[in-house]
């Protein structure tokens, strides 16, 4: 740690506050410093920009890194001229930064020199050029003119190869995303992705019209399955930035819901994976087992999903002693059934035939793309934010991390099934240890220009929220990086060499969350994109050879 | 030749295979629902489905005439094949007219009709589905053919009626037993259900061969698929386990129906309790079975 500090100090200004190490660098030295940080074994988390055009005609780029062992966040900041911001790309050093850089290009107009794939990622095809929605001079309710005859260039297949389009409406998960498989016979040789069809710009909305206490409810609607992780991560980020001390009981209640969410999310995944290989009985049974968890959540919070109990400073509800007892009953029942389910899956030879040695992600590649969650743990990467960087009440609870070395779909399945049982253990301990006391704390004012970083181990991996507090009672910048965002980028490795029959299974095995990645509101189904992707466009995709 | 019996048994055969097949399909849906802790659709749901689809708009994704006619061909060829399966007695209705080779030709047409539909529909998913179906057919139909040939060698006749008669009289010998087991193990692939529904595989290739079908054409292919299940289960239960067989026609029909119900029940259990195989895995399975069934032919030639 100190050695890193020394090395970087010679190149840039370093400030240390609490667990954050803030490095101010010149744009020309970014690559050197990034290399130094990576050499220290830091994980790349995200890259985002903050627009300071109005204050000082600058756009600030923020590269986020995490030193797991030392539990230190590194924020590497560099300021670019807002008239023509450009900086050299770090994608060749960190392949996992390709998407983050493309996103900054789209939303802030930052030009990354030497980027291997500078196509549009987030914005719709008909969005006009030179209009960057996350810049502060862009009003949140501005409706830009539609650019006609536009489409994002997709990878072309080579000689003798065919395109198999999975999407734009992805058939097995029934969500909008376009996986373009370039195949030679049944073997996948290349892969392209076009998603973000439902990007709704909620970061812009939050920065423009909502206040600190309204955003948790918006954040929770980012995902339809694991929404609670988003509101928790957001609240924690603001609490860190505003130095608000949350009561212990609130932390425990958050832990309880985070774990309940993990249980039902993993069961949902187990069902879907079975459905994708045509094993509908397992699918139905897994979802039946999942149902009591949803009902329990409804009993406590009033909602099956999207609990709406997180606010900055704590949670809005308390769990009554009777509800604790009900919870114990439910988790006892689920534990029994999940054990049976696990036996069935582990002993089924046909499932093994389909899952083993399919979609393997070697440890090396897992580290290159900084994947997280069960995908990383199934490839032998020891990362679990609950243990590495404890938040909520996890520092007071002991549990283990399931690790597999194979990195295939089978390993991911085993890791997830293990995690359900571990979550049940965590829940039991939480219920035992939960202290009495208030569930939220009132705060008066949050100082502007403070930064808060928060991680949550979502069911799908490492979730990251960043908040920079603003002067008028709302965040100046709120950035979300969902776990699937990193996991998606590893798909190119997973899919290559697989067969078409395995593609849906491999894609599903990272448990992709379209909505998380694209940060949209699940409530709004009138996505404009459905109009853009007309039958004609679809026909063009289908006939492309 | 007793024409009235031929006409009567033809009507029985066609109505069991074509008219009752949606009922059997409803039965499988109900069983699956119970296994999956669901309520499931009413038993007549498959009739409603077909009727509804019959009344829907027929979207033509291509002008290729093959695409227009082949779905109907699949239903017709199933009806024809059903006339070569004995239900009311030892002899199938058209015993005088066709032998095992004709039967194999006709059931091949069922598959070919769907493959043609898919290939003509100009959809990449349908292409994949068609090529998978082709591979599956090429690997599984020889097993049934070889099993029938084993029977023919044993009975010294290519007529299905004679094979059944011989089998019923003499009981299973080693070669016939092996052939019966092989047909039973390939039944799921013949029907094209999980674990062998690779050509349709909803989650992988979005129903593959069926993707471009709509309205009456889709209804026909759906109906053909349901009837195919009944047909192949009948082939197995009537030709390869021809017991008990009585003199009473009505009793024979009842016995045939209950046997086929049992076979469909077993097939549904397999369907509900297994995931789908990949095409290469399915082919490997079929080729192993084909190897065994060829052994049956040699055993039959040796007279055991």
- Whether residues B275 and A354 touch (CB distance < 8 A) is answered with yes
Residues of B whose CB is below 8 A from A542: 123-124
Report the pLDDT value the prediction gives residue A345, as an integer from 0 to 100: 87
* CA-based nearest distance A281→chain B, Å: 5
Buried/exposed A293-309: b ≥16 CB within 10 Å, e otherwise? beebbebbbeeebbbbb
Residues of B whose CB is below 8 A from A504: 203-204
Best interface-test mutation with B: which of A157, A501, A542, A545 has the largest number of B CBs within 10 A? Answer: A501
- Which of the two residues, A522 and A53, has the higher pLDDT score? A53
Cβ contacts of residue B11 below 8 Å, gap of 6+?
none
Contact status of A184 with chain B (Cβ, < 8 Å):
no
Q: By mean pLDDT, which of A443-457, A494-508, B124-138, B237-251 is the weakest?
A: A494-508
- Whether residues B203 and A542 touch (CB distance < 8 A) is answered with no
For all residues of chain B together, what is the average pLDDT?
Answer: 84
Q: Please name the helix (run of DSSP H) or strand (run of DSSP E) that holds residue A25, with its range, or none.
A: strand A20-25
Report the pLDDT value the prediction gives residue A136, as an integer from 0 to 100: 85
pLDDT beyond 50 at A459 = yes
* CA-based nearest distance B124→chain A, Å: 7
Residues of A whose CB is below 8 A from B35: 281
Q: Which residue has the tokens 């395109």?
A: A163
Report the pLDDT value the prediction gives residue B42, as an integer from 0 to 100: 92
Report the pLDDT value the prediction gives residue A538, as an integer from 0 to 100: 46
- A-B contacts (CB, under 8 Å): 81
Report the pLDDT value the prediction gives residue A535, as an integer from 0 to 100: 45
Distance CA A479, CA A26 (A): 23
* Closest Cα in chain A to B128: A186
- Whether residues A281 and B273 touch (CB distance < 8 A) is answered with yes
> Which residue numbers of B have CB closer than 8 Å to A's CBs?
32, 35-38, 122-125, 128, 194-195, 197-198, 201-206, 272-281
Residues of A whose CB is below 8 A from B275: 274, 277-279, 282, 348, 350-351, 354
Best interface-test mutation with A: which of B28, B36, B124, B200 has the largest number of A CBs within 10 A? Answer: B124
Strands A175-176 and A169-170: antiparallel
pLDDT confidence of B30, banded at 50, 70, 90? very high
* Closest Cα in chain B to A164: B124
- Whether residues A503 and B204 touch (CB distance < 8 A) is answered with yes
Give tens-digit pLDDT for A437-458.
888 888 888 888 888 889 888 8
Report the pLDDT value the prediction gives residue B208, as an integer from 0 to 100: 72
What is the CATH class of A202-518? mainly alpha
pLDDT beyond 80 at A461 = yes
Contact status of A348 with chain B (Cβ, < 8 Å):
yes
Contact status of A194 with chain B (Cβ, < 8 Å):
no
Q: Which of B38, B273, B277 has its CB closest to that of A353?
A: B277
Q: By mean pLDDT, which of A48-62, A310-324, A462-476, A510-524 is the weakest?
A: A510-524
Phi, psi of A72 (to 5 degrees): -125, 135
Q: Which of B202, B272, B275 has its CB closest to that of A350?
A: B275
Tokens of B45: 């749901």
Residues of B whose CB is below 8 A from A277: 203, 275-276
Q: Which residue has the tokens 């469909």?
A: B264
pLDDT beyond 50 at A194 = yes
Report the pLDDT value the prediction gives residue A149, as an integer from 0 to 100: 67
- Whether residues A284 and B125 touch (CB distance < 8 A) is answered with no
Cβ contacts of residue B78 below 8 Å, gap of 6+?
B17, B18, B110, B224, B227, B228, B231
* Closest Cα in chain B to A358: B278
Distance CA A286, CA A431 (A): 25
Query: Which segments of A26-122 are extended strands (E)?
Result: 43-52, 58-67, 72-81, 86-88, 111-113
Residues of A whose CB is below 8 A from B196: none
- Which of the two residues, B304 and A311, has the higher pLDDT score? A311
Best interface-test mutation with A: which of B122, B200, B275 has the largest number of A CBs within 10 A? Answer: B275
Report the pLDDT value the prediction gives residue A150, as an integer from 0 to 100: 63
Q: Please name the helix (run of DSSP H) or strand (run of DSSP E) that holds residue A457, with its range, or none.
A: strand A451-458
Give me the sign of the Cα torsion angle B236, B242, B247, B251. negative
Q: Which of A275, A278, A284 has its CB closest to that of B197?
A: A278
Report the pLDDT value the prediction gives residue B261, as an integer from 0 to 100: 92
- Whether residues A165 and B194 touch (CB distance < 8 A) is answered with no
* CA-based nearest distance B230→chain A, Å: 22
* CA-based nearest distance A288→chain B, Å: 8
pLDDT confidence of B121, banded at 50, 70, 90? confident
* CA-based nearest distance B195→chain A, Å: 8
Contact status of A208 with chain B (Cβ, < 8 Å):
no
Q: Which of B36, B205, B276 has its CB closest to that of A277?
A: B276
List % helix, strand, coil for chain B (3-state, nearest 5): 75, 0, 25
* CA-based nearest distance B275→chain A, Å: 4
**CA angle (A15, A18, A20) in 5-degree steps:** 55
Give tens-digit pLDDT for A462-517.
888 999 888 888 888 888 888 888 888 888 788 877 777 777 777 777 777 766 66
Report the pLDDT value the prediction gives residue B188, as an integer from 0 to 100: 87
* CA-based nearest distance B246→chain A, Å: 39
Are residues B161 and B92 in contact, defined by beta-carbon separation less than 8 angstroms? Answer: yes
Mean pLDDT of A525-544: 43
DSSP A186: T
Residues of B whose CB is below 8 A from A543: 122
Contact status of A354 with chain B (Cβ, < 8 Å):
yes
Give tens-digit pLDDT for A418-428.
899 999 999 99
Domain boundaries, chain A: 202-518
Mean pLDDT of B285-289: 88
Give tens-digit pLDDT for A11-47.
778 888 778 888 888 888 888 888 888 888 888 888 8
Beta bridge partners of A165: A180
* CA-based nearest distance B176→chain A, Å: 29
Q: What is the pTM assigned to this prediction? A: 0.84
Cβ contacts of residue A83 below 8 Å, gap of 6+?
A57
Tokens of A26: 């010149």
Quick count: other Cβ atoms within 10 Å of Cβ A537?
13
Residues of B whose CB is below 8 A from A274: 275
My answer on whether omega of the bond before A168 falls inside 30° of 0, hence cis, is yes
Give tens-digit pLDDT for B174-224.
888 888 888 898 888 888 888 887 767 766 667 777 777 788 888 888 898
* CA-based nearest distance B145→chain A, Å: 27
pLDDT beyond 90 at A99 = no
pLDDT beyond 80 at A524 = no
Give tens-digit pLDDT for A145-192.
887 766 667 777 777 777 777 767 766 667 777 888 788 777 788 788
Mean pLDDT of B129-143: 86
- DSSP character string of B37-97: T-----TTHHHHHHHHHHTS----S---HHHHHHHHHHHHHHHHHHTTS-SSSSS-TTTTT
Closest CA to B81 of B148, B136, B178, B130: B148
pLDDT beyond 70 at A385 = yes
Report the pLDDT value the prediction gives residue A532, as an integer from 0 to 100: 37
Contact status of A175 with chain B (Cβ, < 8 Å):
no
Tokens of B201: 């595989």
């Amino acid at each position: 740690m100190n050695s890193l500090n020394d090395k970087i100090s010679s190149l840039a200004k370093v400030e240390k506050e609490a667990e954050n190490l803030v490095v101010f660098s010149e744009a020309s030295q970014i690559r050197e410093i990034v290399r130094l940080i990576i050499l220290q074994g830091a994980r790349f988390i995200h890259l985002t920009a903050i627009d300071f055009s109005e204050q000082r005609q600058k756009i600030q780029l923020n590269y986020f890194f995490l030193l797991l062992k030392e539990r230190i966040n590194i924020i590497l900041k560099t300021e670019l001229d807002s008239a023509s911001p450009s900086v050299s790309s770090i994608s060749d050093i960190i392949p996992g930064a390709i998407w983050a850089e493309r996103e900054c290009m789209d939303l802030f107009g930052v030009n990354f020199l030497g980027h291997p794939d500078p196509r549009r990622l987030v914005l719709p095809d008909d969005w006009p050029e030179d209009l960057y929605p996350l810049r502060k001079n862009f009003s949140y309710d501005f409706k830009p003119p539609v650019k006609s005859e536009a489409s994002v260039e997709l990878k072309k297949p080579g000689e003798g190869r065919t395109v198999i389009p999975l999407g734009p409406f992805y058939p097995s998960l029934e969500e909008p995303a376009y996986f373009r498989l370039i195949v030679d016979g049944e073997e996948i040789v290349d892969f392209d992705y076009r998603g973000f069809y439902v990007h709704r710009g909620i970061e812009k909305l939050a920065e423009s019209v909502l206040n600190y206490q309204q955003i948790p409810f918006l954040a929770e609607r980012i995902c339809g399955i694991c929404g609670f992780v988003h509101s928790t991560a957001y609240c924690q980020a603001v609490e860190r930035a505003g130095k608000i001390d949350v009561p212990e009981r609130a932390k425990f209640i958050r832990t309880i819901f985070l774990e309940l969410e993990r249980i039902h999310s993993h069961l949902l995944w187990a069902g879907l994976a079975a459905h994708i290989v045509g094993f509908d009985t397992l699918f139905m049974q897994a979802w039946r087992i999942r149902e009591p968890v949803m009902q329990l959540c409804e009993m406590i919070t009033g909602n099956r999903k999207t609990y709406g109990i997180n606010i900055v400073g704590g949670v809005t509800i308390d769990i009554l002693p009777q509800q604790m007892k009900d919870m114990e009953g439910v988790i006892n029942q689920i534990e029994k059934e999940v054990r049976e389910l696990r036996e069935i899956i582990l002993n089924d030879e046909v499932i093994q035939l389909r899952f083993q040695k399919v979609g393997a992600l070697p440890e090396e590649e897992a580290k290159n793309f900084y994947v997280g969650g069960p995908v990383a743990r199934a490839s032998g990467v020891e990362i679990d934010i609950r243990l590495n960087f404890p938040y909520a009440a996890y520092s007071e609870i002991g549990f283990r991390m399931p690790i597999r070395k194979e990195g295939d779909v089978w390993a991911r399945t085993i890791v997830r099934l293990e995690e359900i049982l571990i979550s049940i253990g965590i829940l039991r301990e939480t219920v035992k240890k939960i202290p009495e006391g208030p569930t939220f704390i009132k705060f008066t004012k949050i100082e502007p220009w403070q930064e808060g970083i928060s991680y949550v181990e979502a069911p799908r991996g490492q979730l990251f929220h960043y908040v920079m507090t603003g002067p008028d009672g709302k965040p100046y910048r709120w950035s979300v990086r969902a776990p699937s965002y990193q996991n998606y980028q590893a798909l190119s490795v997973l899919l290559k060499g697989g067969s078409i029959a395995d593609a849906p299974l491999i894609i599903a095995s990272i448990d992709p969350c379209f909505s998380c990645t694209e940060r949209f509101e699940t409530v709004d189904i009138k996505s404009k994109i459905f109009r853009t992707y007309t039958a004609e466009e679809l026909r063009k995709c289908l006939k492309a050879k | 030749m007793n024409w009235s019996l031929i006409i009567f048994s033809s009507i029985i055969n066609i109505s069991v295979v074509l008219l009752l097949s949606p009922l059997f399909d409803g039965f499988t849906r109900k069983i699956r629902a119970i296994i999956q802790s669901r309520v499931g659709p009413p038993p007549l749901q498959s009739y409603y489905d077909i009727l509804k689809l019959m009344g829907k708009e027929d979207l033509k994704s291509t002008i290729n005439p093959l695409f227009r006619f082949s779905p109907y061909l699949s239903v017709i060829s199933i009806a024809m094949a059903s006339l070569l399966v004995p239900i009311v007695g030892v002899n199938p209705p058209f015993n005088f007219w066709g032998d095992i080779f004709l039967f194999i030709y006709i059931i091949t047409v069922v598959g070919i009709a769907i493959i043609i539909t898919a290939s003509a529909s100009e959809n990449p998913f349908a292409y994949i589905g068609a090529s998978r179906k082709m591979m599956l057919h090429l690997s599984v139909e020889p097993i049934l053919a070889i099993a029938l040939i084993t029977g023919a060698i044993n009975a010294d006749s290519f007529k299905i009626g004679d094979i059944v008669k011989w089998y019923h009289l003499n009981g299973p010998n080693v070669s016939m037993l092996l052939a019966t087991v092989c047909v039973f193990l390939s039944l799921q692939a013949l029907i094209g259900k999980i674990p062998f529904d690779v050509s349709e595989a909803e989650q992988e290739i979005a129903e593959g061969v069926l993707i471009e079908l709509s309205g009456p054409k889709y209804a026909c292919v759906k109906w053909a698929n349901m009837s195919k299940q009944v047909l192949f289960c009948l082939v197995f239960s009537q030709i390869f386990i021809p017991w008990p067989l009585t003199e009473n026609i009505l009793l024979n029909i009842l016995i045939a129906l209950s046997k086929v119900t049992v076979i469909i029940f077993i097939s549904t259990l397999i369907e509900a309790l297994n995931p789908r195989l990949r095409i290469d895995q399915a082919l490997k399975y079929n080729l192993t079975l084909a190897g065994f069934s060829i052994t049956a032919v040699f055993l039959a030639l040796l007279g055991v």
